[in-house]
Chains A and B, each alone.
Chain A
Amino acid sequence: MSGKKSLGRFLTENAVVILFLLITIAAIPSSGLSIQYILQEMITRLGRNTFLVLALILPIYAGMGLNFGMTLGAMSGQLGLILAINFNVGGVEGLAFAALLGTPVSVLMGYICGSVLNKAKGREMVTGYMLAFFINGIYQLVILYMMGAIFPIRSPAILLSRGYGIRNTLNLEGVRQSLDNLLMLRLGGYALPLATFIVIAVLCAFVIWFKKTKLGQDMRAVGHDMTVAESAGVPVDRTRIIAIIISTVLACYGQIIFLQNMGNMATYNAHDQTSFFAVAAILVGGASVKKASIPNVFIGVILLHVLFVVTPRAGQNLFGSAMIGEYFRQFIGYGVIALSLVLYAWRARKDALRAREGLRRASIAAAPEGAAK
């Protein structure tokens, strides 16, 4: 009886992961892709996306939900890369240069985002999403009109032919895969970008360590119950802002790592779906609005991207059109976010119901204990 119940709980708690696993397993054979190919793709995509997804953990930890505002960090990273390209700084040094220039911008962005989210407690996710649109406007203003007109740009190659504004697509040749190739390990036919994985491992270690600090504990307290944390003297607003700043800075670095792997950058919309796919990945990995861990990140990136690799081929083979797979991918991305949010709300209601049952049982147990006998 209780075993059955706990199995049911396990199923509802991991519904998204299980669903994804099933779809993926079903889609792999029909795609006709070799396991070697899929594995190599996974290694590449883990290196490319994991850092970005890890940036989401701390805000969830601080009870602020999924940080759709991480787009702000991605924009800061792109700004850094544009400057690196402009000064023709290449290689790993170029990436570090871009990251260093992006850091203060992303700290500022994180501070703005955190302050705004503090004004919208309980509605952080939708506020962050909208804020990203707003800052996107400013980003475009700066890149499209000011660069070359107000801020001097050295390299005419990155400007639009009218003389100001950055080109729509930037070739990141100078820094292309420079981090991945720094320590490329070749193992039995697979290429392992060791340096990228080391960077990711360092970030994981940082997240684990951070949770053990006083600030991490405060974030947890704030995430669980703001009122109690406040009454215990934890500076709630400040802690929440710090969580967002860290997330934004990490998103900045994550976007730089992502783009160096891609090798080129859509100046005006590379960041559009950054938060969206990072959020989808962490949710697929079994995280919820309130709970996320490092394994969630890895499971999520792998599952989501296996599906992304496999579906166009599967669509091609099954329906004669890769577009169906492409469509399916978009559909799944949004579907998974909606499903997770609904499941979360549903689970919260179930928990409330369970608590209420407890209330009643307590009343029966406590009152006429003797009378029942």
Chain B
Amino acid sequence: MSEKKVDPKIAARRLLVRGGLVVAYVFLVGLFFVTGKGHTVLVDNKDAADGSAVGINGALVSIDGREALEQYPGDRDIVLLKGQRHRVRIQLPSGEPPIEMSLALPLNTDMLLLSIPKLVAKQAGYLEEFVQRDQPRPADEKVGDNNAFTSPDAPVTTPAP
């Protein structure tokens, strides 16, 4: 009823605001998709297949300033990252100044392999997509009365470390 006689100025403004909201909606969906996108990075300290780079004994690898991973040859650690730009800091046992560099993960990947030896050796291809083959699927569980609401034993507040 009252919306019949909105004067054109206000109507134009409203159109603008509502249009802006639609744009903002799309933008936010995109933004959260990009910034929240999770990547599993396998920090790998194995010898390269062609022998061009060898595992480093006792490298400390820290991503985004987290607690450093202490790596010995043949180690492979899993790091979960969110977003695409990250900083990697590698402290070599030789006591040289640490290597610091930024890491750009391709958006459309779930799992990546970061080869520390290749990175230290400044070889190309230190970061490659890791595709799991013949991944064992967990067996389908039975449909049960999973009454999460009432169950007191469901995982509750233990805050993640």
A interface residues with partner B (beta carbon < 8 Å): 40-41, 44, 84, 87-94, 96-97, 100-101, 154-157, 160-161, 167-169, 174, 176-177, 180-181, 184, 191, 233, 235, 258, 261-266, 268-270, 273-274, 277, 308-309, 312, 326, 329-330
Contact = CB atoms under 8 A, between A and B. Distances in A.
A191 B157 CA distance: 8
A87 B33 contact: yes
A352 to B, nearest CB: 35
A345 to B, nearest CB: 27
Nearest to A40: B157
A31 to B, nearest CB: 11
B150 interface: yes
A213 B36 CA distance: 36
B78 to A, nearest CB: 12
Contacts of A308: 150, 152
Contact of A161 (B139, B147, B154): B139
A87 B150 CA distance: 29
A270 B82 CA distance: 27
A87 B140 contact: no
Closest 3 CB pairs of A and B: A93-B36, A266-B146, A89-B36
Contact of B143 (A97, A168, A177): A168
A333 to B, nearest CB: 8
B145 A274 contact: no
Given A169-B146, A264-B155, A308-B152, 9 more contacts: A40-B157, A44-B156, A94-B36, A96-B32, A97-B29, A181-B160, A233-B1, A266-B147, A277-B149
B4 to A, nearest CB: 12
Q: Report which residue of B1, B32, B140, B144 has the largest number of chain A beta carbons within 10 angstroms of its beta carbon.
A: B32
B155 A90 contact: no
Given A161-B137, A235-B1, A88 B110 contact: yes
Interface in B42-82: 80, 82
Contact of A89 (B38, B142, B144, B145): B38
A155 B110 contact: yes
A107 B110 CA distance: 32
Interface string B3-44: 000000000000000000000010011011101111100000
B38 A174 contact: yes
Nearest to B157: A44
Interface of B: 1, 25, 28-29, 31-33, 35-39, 80, 82, 110, 135, 137, 139-150, 152, 154-157, 159-160
Contacts of A268: 143
A97 B36 contact: yes
B147 A309 contact: no
Contacts of A180: 157, 159
Contacts of A263: 154-155
A309 B140 CA distance: 30
Contacts of B37: 87-90
Nearest to A87: B33
Contacts of B25: 100
Given A93-B82, A167-B141, A262-B155, A156 B32 contact: no
A96 B80 CA distance: 19
A88 B147 contact: no
Contact of A273 (B31, B142, B147): B147
A103 to B, nearest CB: 8
15 contacts: A87-B33, A89-B32, A89-B36, A90-B36, A91-B38, A93-B36, A94-B38, A167-B140, A169-B146, A269-B147, A270-B146, A277-B149, A277-B150, A308-B152, A330-B150
A91 B37 CA distance: 9
A177 B160 contact: yes
A154 B110 CA distance: 10
Nearest to A98: B32
Contacts of B147: 266, 269, 273
A84 B33 CA distance: 8
A339 B148 CA distance: 25
Contacts of B36: 84, 89-94, 96-97
Contact of B140 (A160, A269, A274): A160
A104 B147 CA distance: 27
B106 to A, nearest CB: 13
Contacts of B80: 90
Q: Report which residue of A40, A233, A263 has the largest number of chain B beta carbons within 10 angstroms of its beta carbon.
A: A263
Contacts of A176: 160
